[in-house]
Amino acid sequence: MDLDQRGRDTVTAGARLALDRWAERLGAPADPEPGLLALLDQHTARIRAALAATTPVHLAAYADGVADAAAARGWTPSVVADWRRAPWASVHVLAACVLARHAS
79 — phi, psi (to 5°)? Answer: -60, 130
pLDDT of residue 24: 97
Please report the pLDDT score of residue 9 as a whole number: 87
pTM: 0.91
The residue-averaged pLDDT of 57-86 equals 96
Is the predicted pLDDT of residue 2 greater than 70, yes or no? no
Q: CA-CA distance, 69 to 38, in Å (whole number)?
A: 24
Query: What's the confidence (pLDDT) of residue 3?
Result: 61
Q: Using 50, 70 and 90 to split pLDDT, how confident is the model at 104?
A: low
Range of the domain at 76: 5-101
- How many domains does one find in the chain? 1
Q: Are 57 and 12 in contact (CB under 8 A)?
A: yes
